[in-house]
Structure 1
Amino acid sequence: MGLSSGGFSNAVRNSISSLAGSHHDRRSRKIEEKDKSAGATEKELEPPRFESVKKPLHLLSLPPEIQLLILSQLRFADIERLRRTCKQLRYLATPHQIRVLMGPMKLQNELLGHCKSCLAYDECRQTLLLSNVTDPGYPLASRCVRCALTDGDPRIRFGKKVRLANFDTVFICRWCGWPITEPSISAYTNEQFHRGCYRGYNNALFFYFLLGWAQLSIGITGAALAWRYFRHVTMVFAPTLTSFLLLWFCFGVLIFRSNKKRIYHWTLLLELTILGLWVPPVYYLAVGIANSPNDPVPKSTAATMAMFALNMLFRLVNSVGNMFMLFQYDMTKRHRPNVRWWRRMIHPVVAFFVFWTYPQALDQKYPPDYL
């Protein structure tokens, strides 16, 4: 074949090694396949592994025994708040279960000493209104003074008495509308006011006294200026004379009026009449000033015009105040809790008009009797 002895031996050696390598490859392949099949069989035989699910940690996940143990350490107000959270806690803390945890006597005292709305507790029951057996939810039917004022309880009216949960009957303060729960905080000379409220009422009376003399002085001065400089002008003289006479009549009404009968409708009519009488003189002076814009305004005319304007302003404020009192505005609303911001701004303004006009309206009885 043209091969040398060395080449022939190399060819034989290569063929033998290739046969041995192929045999080794087939054997290793069979071993690998056997290992794979054995591994798959082992995986199939292994039991499935389940991952543990973490439960949320909260009160409802605890056993009922531990939940009852926790409830036994809480106050009644906290238990009631939990009962109002969800149905599961409500079914857990049933009235029977609470009675077992606290005892009948303690539970009765707790129910009578808590407000049914805000669950505020008062051991002495001085800030709770008395509840009746016929009230819904009794014995948890009492309401604290704050919640009663917020909801507009009709039992709390200034000038009237209210019965508290400790069976005391107390007055409602005429200034702030809150009950006078203790005799030590009432005014010395008037049991229907708190001590601090009575000082505020006296300050309002003093302001009204000074204001009354100021109105009287301005009314007299305005009429005197009109008669001094415009006595020959009928449009000025006649209205100012009439308003001057009505001024003294109104002053007498303010002095001798009684607190038993309310005459706000008559005083309102009187104030509007005086206000209307000042319109013609002001109109006459304004037209005179407008017809001569180039001429300087005399000092007498300017002073008279200023007095006329002040008289009209005072009568206008008096008319607004009488109107508020005629519609029976409750002066204690400005001291109520949880008042909206716009009402909190309006109430002091209305109180200012009432105190300007007649602060003794706080002393009048309720409901009113009109003359």
Structure 2
Amino acid sequence: MLSFERREAATAHNASSPRSPPGYELRKWLRSRSKARQSPAQNGPHGATTSGLLSLPVELQFMITSHLDLAETVALRRVCRLYRHVITADIVQAQFSRYGQYDAILQGCCSECLTTPGLDRLILDVTREHDAWRSICFRCWRTQLTPDYQRKHGPLLELANGEYGYICHFCAWPVCGGDGQEGSQELLHAPCRVKRYLATITWFVMAILQVGLGVLALVLAVTQYRKVPTVLIPTCIDFGLSIVALALFIIRTCAHDEQKYTYALAAELMMTVVRIPPVCYTARETVNTPNVTFMSKFALGIFLLNLVFRFVDTVGYTLLYFGYDPRSMFIAGLSLRKKMVYMLCTFVVWCAFIPN
């Protein structure tokens, strides 16, 4: 794959490294495959070996592949399973590099999966050195995206063609187009904008439903269980805690400091957990009342539904507090089982807070 001068330069460069030079790995794989293809089971009826590049001697294969350009090398890697394992990112970088400087043609190739989607579909990875081969496609970039990795890139993404893009606030995939000026403008893909509206509307419906259940539980406790302090007192305590939780939610959504946001989220999670015992106690005492009427059954249903919401909110805030990213279900290449788990976790989180 490398010419003689390039092989000598690569060998001298990697002399201090314990890894073998790229050419050694290529020749090793080619020799093993050539021996396998020259077995009697794969020979023709007259003893002739199969035709094609792999039927040639290793030295000729090595000489031929060393004259391929980047597009031809990537194409060869796609059509042959052997070369897909042999032609790695290190091999490509060594072939198209000289004296420690990579060829500018590598800018149009992903340094992770070796695909060439186009300069407008490649991001320059700012976590790598400026003079290194740091182009990465959207798929590979989204797969390794973490909150810390996203903070290093900032609100803007520099594309390989010199333009800029943004991170979609809903799915975290890149949004092409921008003027290179950092701002607070929230850009989303057109389908993601519709999905975000639907998720936000769903959250508001769930929030109104929870508030309505709390108010209805308080009204039932005051009107139907006024003389039963074991029902009235816990219901009033839960309603008062819901007001405090609402204040904490407003503080968290208005917080721009990450530490302040974390503290408010921890307090909101604690408040949600504290609200569970009063609701459980109220539901139990409702069942233990001597006269079971329609209103008592209705009140029991309201208290139990309120309890379900408390558990869902607790799970959602717990996932959010321990760093779960609701956008994980949009990662490419997920198995069906993992995608279903992520979708369930994201739904639970979205029931607890407005997706940002």
Normalising by structure 1, we get a TM-score of 0.65
Which residue of 2 is the match for residue 113 of structure 1? Answer: 108
Structure whose CA Rg is larger: 1
Which residue of 1 is the match for residue 186 of structure 2? Answer: 191
Q: 1:155–1:243: structure 2 CA closer, same or farther, 3 Å change rule?
A: closer
Q: 1:116–1:316: structure 2 CA closer, same or farther, 3 Å change rule?
A: same
Distance in 2, matches of 1:182 and 1:351, equals: 28
Q: 1:82–1:307: structure 2 CA closer, same or farther, 3 Å change rule?
A: closer
Q: How far 1:84 moved relative to its partner?
A: 8.6
2:121–2:138: 8 Å Cα contact kept in structure 1? no
Q: How far 1:231 moved relative to its partner?
A: 1.4
Equivalent residue runs for 1:153-168 within 5 Å: 155-156=149-150, 160-168=155-163
How many residue pairs align between the two structures? 288
Among candidates 333, 355, 363, match of residue 328 of structure 2: 333
Which residue of 2 is the match for residue 41 of structure 1? Answer: none
Secondary structure at 1:197's aligned position in 2? helix
Is 1:146 aligned to residue 139 of structure 2?
A: yes
1:131–1:142: 8 Å Cα contact kept in structure 2? no
Distance in 2, matches of 1:236 and 1:244, equals: 13
Is 1:170 aligned to residue 171 of structure 2?
A: no
Secondary structure at 2:212's aligned position in 1? helix
Q: 1:148–1:133: structure 2 CA closer, same or farther, 3 Å change rule?
A: closer
Distance in 2, matches of 1:331 and 1:159, equals: 19
5+ residue gaps, structure 2, are 1-44, 97-101
1:130–1:165: 8 Å Cα contact kept in structure 2? no
Distance in 1, matches of 2:190 and 2:108, equals: 27
Q: 1:134–1:303: structure 2 CA closer, same or farther, 3 Å change rule?
A: closer
Distance in 1, matches of 2:111 and 2:289, equals: 70
Normalising by structure 2, we get a TM-score of 0.68
1:176–1:335: 8 Å Cα contact kept in structure 2? yes
Q: Which moved more, 1:162-171 or 1:76-85?
A: 76-85
1:176–1:197: 8 Å Cα contact kept in structure 2? yes
Is 1:248 aligned to residue 249 of structure 2?
A: no
Q: 1:62–1:200: structure 2 CA closer, same or farther, 3 Å change rule?
A: same
Q: 1:71–1:281: structure 2 CA closer, same or farther, 3 Å change rule?
A: same
Deviations 1:73-118 (A, max 9, x none): 97241245689936xx98xxx98xx87xxxxxxx934322111332
Is 1:54 aligned to residue 55 of structure 2?
A: no
Letter of the structure 2 residue corresponding to residue 59 of structure 1: L
Secondary structure at 2:203's aligned position in 1? helix
Q: 1:132–1:335: structure 2 CA closer, same or farther, 3 Å change rule?
A: closer
Q: Which moved more, 1:153-162 or 1:339-348?
A: 153-162
Equivalent residue runs for 1:182-221 within 5 Å: 182-183=177-178, 190-221=185-216
Equivalent residue runs for 1:1-371 within 5 Å: 53-62=47-56, 64=60, 68=64, 75-79=72-76, 85=82, 108-130=103-125, 134=129, 138-139=132-133, 141-152=134-145, 155-156=149-150, 160-183=155-178, 190-255=185-250, 257=252, 258-260=254-256, 261-262=260-261, 263-288=264-289, 297-360=292-355, 362=356
Letter of the structure 2 residue corresponding to residue 308 of structure 1: F
Which residue of 1 is the match for residue 12 of structure 2? Answer: none
Q: 1:52–1:353: structure 2 CA closer, same or farther, 3 Å change rule?
A: closer
Secondary structure at 1:359's aligned position in 2? coil
1:321–1:353: 8 Å Cα contact kept in structure 2? yes
Q: 1:112–1:84: structure 2 CA closer, same or farther, 3 Å change rule?
A: farther
Letter of the structure 1 residue corresponding to residue 51 of structure 2: L
Which residue of 2 is the match for residue 29 of structure 1? Answer: none
Distance in 2, matches of 1:327 and 1:340, equals: 23
Q: How far 1:265 moved relative to its partner?
A: 1.0
Q: Percent identity?
A: 22
Secondary structure at 2:157's aligned position in 1? strand
2:327–2:346: 8 Å Cα contact kept in structure 1? no
Distance in 2, matches of 1:204 and 1:132, equals: 33
Q: 1:269–1:144: structure 2 CA closer, same or farther, 3 Å change rule?
A: same
Letter of the structure 1 residue corresponding to residue 319 of structure 2: F
1:127–1:181: 8 Å Cα contact kept in structure 2? no
2:248–2:267: 8 Å Cα contact kept in structure 1? no
Q: 1:337–1:248: structure 2 CA closer, same or farther, 3 Å change rule?
A: same
Letter of the structure 1 residue corresponding to residue 115 of structure 2: A
